[in-house]
Every structure is written in structure tokens, then in C-alpha cells.
Amino acid sequence: MAEQDFPGWHGTTIIGVRKGGQVVVAGDGQVSLGQTVIKGTARKVRRLSPGGFDVVAGFAGSTADAFTLLERLEAKLEATPGQLQRASVELAKDWRTDKYLQKLEAMLIVTDGKDLLVITGAGDVLEPEHDVAAIGSGGNFALAAARGLMETDLDAEGVARKAMAIAADICVYTNGNLTVEAIGG
């Protein structure tokens, strides 16, 4: 089947919000193939604990590719305990230069409660402005909503949940079945 004939896996929305000493990563549960919802309860946010060091990661893109990247991130964290930013940079370097990893199609939001980072296959490790990061098909909707909600009395989890609800109302590849993980606060 030629690439243009394949309907393609679409969607997801992952958001990371840092507010009041807490960092929350939330993700929806929808997996779509073309115009069909394949699953509505997928877990795209995971807690990693390499060497007892707590990290939360959310992924958008191919699930198998994301799991490969999460395994690699865990290995990097074991090699550099307590240094999420360094481990993320090492992962991004490998992702950019390794011929096998270059083909992976996913993005990650990761946090250790201190750093909040977006890791891409282009070799980017980005610290978001305004303490909000979002990826996936509904990412821009969730990002805009969360930035507007940051000035309210909502805590980090409240901002993430409300922003995800707004994204789910707009993006057909995002649903309201959330997985939410928090660190700090």
C-alpha cells in the first residue's frame, strides 16, 4: 500500500502545565485511523522511575515509536540520574543522528517537576514559554486555552483539565478520556 493510500494514524493531545510549584501532564485517550476511532481509552501519559527518580512523560505520534523513545529516555536517565535536561539532550542527539531512530514519528513532553521539556525528532529540546507546552493534533487548541487560563485561580491540574476539554471540543482527533499525572506541589 502506497503511503498516500494509507489513511494514517492521527491525533492526540498532550499538555504540560507548571503552576504553583506543581507540574501536570495530561493526555487524551483517543486513537484514530483515518476517520475511525480505534480506541478511546489509550494511556499516552506515563510515569517513569529510573533509579527512583520520578519523571512524567506524555507522547503524541506513533505508539510503538513513542515507546521506543521512552525506553531510550529511561536508559539516558539511568546514566545521568536526576538530570532530565541532560538526558533529554542526549536522547535528542541520538534521535537526530541514529538512522533507525530518525524514522520514528513521535514527540514527547517530559517533566521531573522542575524542568518541563518538549523533545522532537528534529533534535530539539525546548523549554516552553509561559509554563505551558502542548503537542499533537489538538496541541495548539490546548496551548491557547491553557495560556488564557494561567491567570485564573485554577491550579495546574485544573488548567490542564479545562484546556484539554476545550481542545476535545474543537479537535476531532482528541477526546475527553484523560490520563493526568502530577509532580510537585
Span 140-162, mean pLDDT? 98
- Asked whether residue 1 is assigned to any structural domain, the reply reads no
**What per-residue confidence (pLDDT) applies to 10?**
53
Domain membership flag for residue 180: no
Residue 7: inside a domain: no
Q: Is 123 a member of any domain?
A: yes
Task: Write out pLDDT tens, residues 41-57.
Answer: 999 999 998 777 899 99
Integer Cα distance of 92 and 82 in angstroms: 17
Annotated catalytic residue within 12, 13, 111, 174: 12
The domain total for the chain is 1
Is 175 inside any structural domain? no
Please report, for the domain that includes residue 141, its CATH number.
3.60.20.10
C-alpha to C-alpha distance for 43 and 25, rounded to whole angstroms? 12
Domain of residue 152: give its range.
Answer: 18-167
Question: Could you confirm whether 12 is annotated as catalytic?
Answer: yes
> Model-level pTM?
0.91
Q: Take residue 122 and report the three cell numbers written for it.
A: 528534529
